[in-house]
Amino acid sequence: MRKTTLIAGCALLMLAAGCKDKNTKDMDKDNPFIAGFNTPYNIPDFEKIKTEHYMPAFEEGMKRQKEEIDAIVKNPEAPTFENTIEAFEYSGELLNTVSGVFFNLTECENSPEMEAIAEEVTPLLSAHADDIALNAKLFARIKAVYEQKDSLQLNPEQMRLLEETYKGFVRGGANVPEEKQARFRELNERIASLTLRFAQNVLKATNAYSKKLDDGTEVTLQLPSWEPFMQTCPDRKLREELWHAYTDRCNGGEFDNTKIIDTLVNLRLERANILGFPTHADYVLDDCLAKTPQAVYSCLMQIWTPALKKAKAECAEYQKMLEKDEPGAKLQPWDWRYYSEKLRAEKYNLEDSVVRPYFALDNVLGGAFDVANRLYGLTFEPTDTLPTYNKEARCFLVKDSGNVIGILYMDFFPRKSKRSGAWMTEFRGQKVNQKGENVIPIIQVVCNFTKPAGDKPSLLNFDESETLFHEFGHALHGLLSKCHYPSLAGTSVPRDFVELPSQIMENWCRNKQVMKSYAKHYKTGEAIPDELIAKIAAAQTYGQGFINTELLAASLLDMDYHSITEKQSIDPNKFEQEHMDKIGLIPEIISRYKSPYFQHIFTTGYDAGYYSYTWTAILDHDAFAAFVESGDIFNPELAKKFRHLLESGNTVEPMTLYREFRGKDPSVKPLLKDRGLM
């Protein structure tokens, strides 16, 4: 039983007239969310936050926002931009604060107690959001302001906020007929709960397996452990065992996600239908640059065809290598990484063990910081005096011309409490508050790299180095934000645009000029030799058949799940196989993520959106080509234009921002050329 329940019981029993008030005040004083953070830059007071603080803070946050919404609705004055749109935009500050901390920490500091809170609060938050989205009186006021937008003399950002707020309410169900609202609420609650369970199952299944090898090494299903093993293990049966351990996660058993997928896909379709869309993909894409499923399929297929052709050629090479080792054997998915790495070493003499010593984590991080400095003048000052949620998380003051413009946390190593993969998020986004004061962002970058061992630092392979630059690009998008309204700031852009700031940074990571500045041998300090850079560059197009095919297969699978038009019983294994056969995926390759652990589309908000990595790859290659064509990859004029794109968030239509930077529409040719798919 929670403390708040006891307080309510005290009041109901009327044991003392002041019982509830006194205990509530004590609770507020002890709860850092409610009392406020007495910390530099108002950073969350991680060291004081306890698990028992979350539910009272969530409850108080929802209560306060409800009161703020009621005040808007009951305002006797006619609806205006200030008393309705701005008032709504700034509502829910406490709720946003506790949500920003809690849900980010469930991803990297999870525990049974955190899971229990998440399961309890998720349906409450879903209901709370629906109470707002389906508040007819609130929407009437928003609609009244929207209908007179042309006469309000709003500045461009205010106009954008008005349009996005109105659109958000429509997409949130404001026009759902009253007789369907109860079902709509139920759908939202069930979808939210199922996505949470899906993520918890993947984390538990990942942590549940480990394999002790004869040499004493332990292999886990975390990618920094699993992938090097698959690349280097000569024992084919052992590769097969580890392959199935990884790819069979959540496919039945204790942490089964197959039934969740069946339910979730159908619930999403039903919700889209209630909102007036034929499919969930149509609903999602209506708010993206792509706009329609047809546009997405067209984009993906123009790359799929050359990628699959190249993958088949790669497969034939690996098959020949396998036959030399095991005559008569047929190449299987668990062989691909092993022979790919073996052939890479033969073709380019580019073994992982030769590359990693030049990519010590701190050197790669310094390289990313240096690029941001040369492009945008930013500096990153390490500090150990600010609160942090884990001793492994590093904290930096981000400065522009000596002024602190943001706080950056970077959390690099695997833990059982952390989900796999790499991501950027924020504990607090940038905004201008109601007092007119700029509030700096608090950004978090999370990765899962190999930990240092003894005197040996964390050494990255080149793909991991690009991952660091990638997530750092997302961080720059949040850190450089110069917006007024929080819902338009930083990375709050369409999902098929949000990957542009991250993916373009990968181009600097692999540039020879930049690499020479940061890739230094961790023992000798020697800069990476030109010969090795040339091999890395030559190898960039190596394996691109596999890389693009597995990525595009996952993107197409995502679209296929969310383009169904009729409710149906879905067996994810059968569904996936049928749709991979339809596009001609060869059996030696599988989708980058098999359905039962495909968290992007069933947990983290990339449903009908996984295509965006490819969509924005066209943008990022075209954008970096502008720097190359100028003769200076740090061209100050272009850097200033791209910084404006980063600063603008969603205050301007994204493709307008892109065309202002590039001076033309993007071309797919730089992408195809760079990936060797021309």
Closest CA to 401 of 436, 425, 377: 377
Residue 431's DSSP bridge partners are 439
What angle (nearest 5°) sits at the alpha carbon of residue 242, between those of residues 239 and 248? 130
Alpha-carbon gap, residue 116 to 4, rounded angstroms: 17
CA 489 – CA 408 distance, rounded (Å) = 17
Q: Taking the CA atoms of the chain, what radius of gyration do you get in angstroms?
A: 26
Catalytic residue selected from 107, 341, 471, 588: 471
**Alpha-carbon torsion 321, 327, 329, 330, what sign?**
positive
Instruction: Report CA 411 to chain centroid distance, whole Å.
Output: 15
- Residue 77 catalytic? no
User: What residue spans of 326-448 are helical by DSSP H?
Assistant: 333-348, 352-355, 361-376
Asked if residue 611 lies in contact with residue 558, where contact means CB atoms within 8 angstroms, the answer is yes
DSSP secondary structure string for all residues of 288-342: SSS-SHHHHHHHHHHHHHHHHHHHHHHHHHHHHHHHHHSTT----HHHHHHHHHH
Reading the block at residue 42, the tokens are 């108002």
Residue of 2, 7, 6, 3 lying closest to 22 (CA atoms)? 7
Cα separation of 194 and 634, whole Å?
46
Closest listed residue to residue 242, CA positions, set 223, 267, 219: 219
**At 448, phi and psi to the nearest 5?**
-135, 75
- Three-state SS letters, 145-198: HHHCHHHCCCCHHHHHHHHHHHHHHHHCCCCCCHHHHHHHHHHHHHHHHHHHHH
Per-residue burial over 389-400, b = 16 or more CB atoms within 10 Å of its CB, e = otherwise = beeebbbbbbee
Classify 96 as helix, strand or coil: helix
Question: What is the helix (H) or strand (E) element at residue 405, kind and residue range?
Answer: strand 403-411
Q: What φ, ψ does residue 104 adopt, rounded to 5°?
A: -70, -40
**Non-local CB neighbours of 177 within 8 Å, separated by 6+ positions:** none
Other beta carbons within 10 Å of 329: 12
Strands (E), 197-291: 210-212, 218-220
Neighbours of 99 (CB within 10 A): 17
All residues at 6 or more sequence positions from 122 whose CB lies less than 8 Å from its CB, including other chains? 192, 193, 196
Q: Sign (positive/negative) of CA torsion 260, 262, 267, 269?
A: positive
C-alpha 10/C-alpha 33 separation (Å) is: 23
Say if residues 166 and 100 touch (Cβ distance below 8 Å): no
Task: Choose among 352, 322, 303: nearest CA to 588.
Answer: 322
Residue 655 neighbours by CB under 8 Å, 6+ apart? 289, 497
Q: Which residues pair with 382 in a beta bridge?
A: 396
**Tokens in use for 512?**
């020879």
Backbone phi and psi for residue 360, each to the nearest 5 degrees, phi listed first: -60, 140
Residues belonging to the active site:
471
